[in-house]
Structure 1
Amino acid sequence: MTIDLRTLSRDEHDRWYAQLMLAFGGVPEPPQEQRLMDDLTEFDRSIGAWDGAACVGTASAFSYRVAVPGGTFLPAAGVTMVSVAATHRRRGILSSMMRRQLDDVRERGEALAVLTASEPAIYGRFGYGIATRQLALTVESARVRIEAPEGTDEVSLRFADVTEAAERCEAVYARTIGTRPGNLARSPGWERLPLLDPPEERDGSSPMQCVLAERAGELVGFVRFHIKLSSEWSVPTSRIRVRHISALDPAAYAALWRFLLSVDLTEFVEARNLPVDDPLLSMVSDIRRCAVRMRDSMHVRLVDVGAALEARTYLTPVDVVFEVEDAFCPWNAGRWRLTGDAKGASCERTDDAPELSLSVRELGAAYLGDTSLAALGAAGRVRELRQGALTETSVAFGSAVAPWLQHGF
């Protein structure tokens, strides 16, 4: 049976999107979410796999700029909307779409491809490594207090209309994204994403609420959240569900969390996407009452090893020769000499003896500074060929703060 793989046309979009929804359970997205995705879809970056008139596979990408260590924003393909019909599994359709997509990313001159995975086990064979993680926690409001830094009492808080405050909140987001690798610079249209609030996805919670943190009239932080009301025998067990919290300084961040933990008739505060080194972990009085959990978030694939490694900076001076394996994108395979420090880097082909041997998947996992090369070496996924090279390079690849992806795509 022949499968036709081609770039998506506008008149095919409805059938293409219906296949995507079917692959993810068959439950339609709320209309406002679907409208946003329709507006943001880049048709020239979208692929359909067709068995006759039936769409049996989908894949797309968004054009992003991703923060990398050193504060630079690197153009990247945000891989998304990937699916294969359950009737057409194990016929090479996914591999064919990944092949077409990565070839296109290379032709566009983008050094990185990134994604968030519904099934993390899928993408390692295509060279993606888990490069950021996210923290989730549920704080017992009555049992945890915030050890607030100096200046917290100078921050004033007030409720605001979500839509009316959106532009000011977006400005805070724009000021914070360069401080952590992994964040995305939002292009026009994407500012609508955090404002989505379909009733179908509230699970009985309130409409989204917004509280602003201000100092001397300047917005220094905000939090968007829902409240899910519940009780047992008239005793409140309600919970606050944080959608997004952001602040420009520790005092503003502490003020927002102190507010969340003090809302009347609520017992818990839930946040499902924080960086793994979030300041809150050092502000709470009792970490055991915070039910901390962690999961993978953004997966990174180096499409151009040389350009990607040159684009970031390094915590300590590094001079190392990698032997890189990359069966899926063979133009990356071979030896690369990386030389760099906190000011910049170069990465070029070399015939010198290799000092570390690894696959492009390990480079992706370590690229933003989350997973250390030393940890991958302990797992047998990086081989040290010169004594001391693994420790030296692992330290250099680190990041002063944990990388983080603030929102999915």
Structure 2
Amino acid sequence: MTDHDIRVLDDSQYRAAHTLFRSTLHHPPTNDDAWKFIRESYEPGRALGAFAEDELIGTVQAFPSRMAVPGGAVVPHAAVSRVGVRSDWTRRGVLSALQRAQLRSFVESGDVVATLRATESLIYGRFGYGVASRYRTVRVDRSRAVPRTRIAGRVRLVDLEAGERIARSLYEEVAPRRVGTIGRWPAWWSMNLHRPTPEDNPRIAVRSSAGQDDGFLVYKVKPGAHDVSEKKPTTLEVVDLWARTPEAWADLWLFALGVDLVAEVVAFGRPVDEPVEWLLGDRRACKSFGEEDETWLRLVDVPAALGARTYRDGVPVLIGVRDTYLPDNTGTYRVSADGVSRVSDAPEVVLDVDTLASTYLGDVSFSTLAATRRLDVVEPDAPARADALFAVSETPWCGTYF
């Protein structure tokens, strides 16, 4: 018997839910100017609240999206965010109840996968989320960063309105080519490009070649002190960078590295395999910091998720899946280069749905998880067979924070 209930929030409750969420992160309520932007990100039916005697004590929401999976398919995806339980109600089953209700709503709406960004790493595994991609922070010392090459195309600055239009179009085209990327909902763009105070708005550079736009860079410059003795360097922050071709990617990075009166260039949340250092004569001018988990992935519909991606050539493997929160996913799946089918055979390797999620995009191997005792091996060669089937040619990366 619980002393709270879960309800779908309506427009009159969104701001209270957002205030509660911010309080769990120890932030004050959003001011009126900022709320004008944030309000747009709440969509009917996508935000839930936990109530005790009509008092809001917890909340969670999700943005409608899609995700690119190995092989080029794009599947319906829910981007989970703004999860919080009031501090006087934690450890009383509120979050579990919210998660159960939200996962059921994903099933009903046809979402195949869900993802989130975890503030704390020990919370979401029990709800079926597993780490499926990573990112790194890059910091370049411009005093040492002499590029080995020059900009080959044309990189121009554009105003915010035109830049947003170009960026949205290019992102929709380019992003799905990389495994792990997600579709961005309209409010994501407004919240990330338009700030309550104009001076906080980012700048946008667009790269073109042969008269066609093929990449964009969103960046901010944080002024420091020009006197290096004050140790307050002017920093250029790469906020968002996407390109149709390697040539466009290189030109946009070269542009960022060439902006005058900047002491360092910093990029957060970049792919772990992005070769920025190879653009420089002195590779040591580029430092990589804080490789961290990025995407926490939940397979909402395991048969649909496994069936959506492709597999490499190899000997089939029988994978047993356990799912406490969505028991319909529990069962044995035969995975082969020809596809996936649900079978009644005994599994050759058994794992929980959060562990399967970690393998799904190809960022970690079954053999690694077997070695660390994250799955049960029935047939000794099963992890190696699964590795061969699930292998991908490019490290998964999302590149969108929400």
TM-score, length-normalised on structure 2? Answer: 0.92
Correspondence list, 1:156-235, <5 A:
156-199=154-197, 207-231=201-225, 233=227
Structure 2 residue identity aligned to 1:238: T
Between 139-148 and 165-174, the greater mean CA deviation after superposition: 139-148
Alpha-carbon distance between aligned partners in 1 of 2:388 and 2:11, rounded to the nearest angstrom? 48
Structure 2 residue identity aligned to 1:158: R
1:256 alignment partner, SS class: helix
Q: Is the 8 A contact 2:14 2:42 kept in 1?
A: no
Which of residues 322, 333, 338 in structure 1 aligns to 2:335? 338
Sequence identity of aligned pairs in percent?
32
Does 1:237 pair with 2:233?
A: yes
Between 214-223 and 36-45, the greater mean CA deviation after superposition: 36-45
For 1:260, the equivalent position in structure 2 comes to 256
Residue 56 of structure 1 deviates from its aligned partner by 0.5
Q: Deviations over 1:275-325 (max 9, x none)?
A: 111132443344433221211111111122111100111233451111212
Between 48-57 and 186-195, the greater mean CA deviation after superposition: 186-195
Between 191-200 and 158-167, the greater mean CA deviation after superposition: 191-200
Alpha-carbon distance between aligned partners in 1 of 2:227 and 2:270, rounded to the nearest angstrom? 33
Q: Is the 8 A contact 1:33 1:196 kept in 2?
A: no
* Cα pair distance change 1:324/1:225, threshold 3 Å: same
Q: Is the 8 A contact 1:141 1:268 kept in 2?
A: yes
* Cα pair distance change 1:270/1:351, threshold 3 Å: same
Residue 168 of structure 1 deviates from its aligned partner by 1.6
Q: Is the 8 A contact 1:145 1:258 kept in 2?
A: no
For 1:276, the equivalent position in structure 2 comes to 272
For 1:66, the equivalent position in structure 2 comes to 67
Residue 264 of structure 1 deviates from its aligned partner by 1.8
Q: How many aligned residue pairs are there? A: 398
Between 295-304 and 225-234, the greater mean CA deviation after superposition: 225-234
Structure 1 residue identity aligned to 2:248: A
Residue 367 of structure 1 deviates from its aligned partner by 0.9
Where does the alignment leave 5 or more consecutive residues of structure 2 unmatched? none
Residue 43 of structure 1 deviates from its aligned partner by 2.8
Does 1:400 pair with 2:393?
A: yes
For 1:50, the equivalent position in structure 2 comes to 51
2:119 alignment partner, SS class: coil
Q: Deviations over 1:331-357 (max 9, x none)?
A: 22232222235xxx2231x22232111
Where does the alignment leave 5 or more consecutive residues of structure 1 unmatched? none
Residue 153 of structure 1 deviates from its aligned partner by 4.4
Alpha-carbon distance between aligned partners in 2 of 1:253 and 1:103, rounded to the nearest angstrom? 40
TM-score, length-normalised on structure 1? Answer: 0.90
For 1:79, the equivalent position in structure 2 comes to 80
Does 1:385 pair with 2:373?
A: no
1:50 alignment partner, SS class: strand
Q: Is the 8 A contact 1:142 1:261 kept in 2?
A: no
